[in-house]
């Protein structure tokens, strides 16, 4: 049996799911996928064919990169649905 201890931060907005999985301060994974491509039962597995963006590294680095991304194509921070 394997146990993974991690903290997960997730933002779901306008059909986009942005997730940061922090295993430690030095080890984290951040990714952006379309909401329909997410398996909420297993956030630790990201299909590379579905990832719009993905990075691994130190927590502050990957979280900052994810937050600094422009809106996903077809989405605007100021648009209306």
What are 2-58's pLDDT values in tens digits? 666 888 899 888 888 999 999 998 999 999 999 888 887 887 788 888 899 999 999
Alpha helices in 1-81 (DSSP H): 59-67
Give per-residue burial for 45-70: e unless 16+ CB within 10 Å, then b: ebeeeeeeebbeeebeebbeebeeee
Question: pTM for the full model?
Answer: 0.79
Domain assignments of the chain as residue spans, ordered by start: 7-67
CB 35 within 8 A of CB 15: yes
Cα separation of 13 and 27, whole Å?
A: 25
The CA distance from 28 to 57, in Å, is: 5
Band of pLDDT at residue 78, cut at 50, 70 and 90: low
């Amino acid at each position: 049996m394997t146990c993974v201890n991690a903290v997960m931060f997730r933002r779901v907005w306008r059909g986009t799911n942005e997730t940061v999985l922090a295993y430690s301060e030095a080890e984290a994974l951040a990714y952006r996928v379309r909401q329909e491509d997410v398996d909420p039962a297993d956030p630790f597995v990201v299909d590379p064919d579905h990832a719009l963006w993905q990075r691994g590294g130190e927590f502050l680095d990957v979280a900052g990169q994810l937050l600094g991304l422009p809106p996903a194509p077809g989405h605007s921070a100021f648009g209306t649905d």
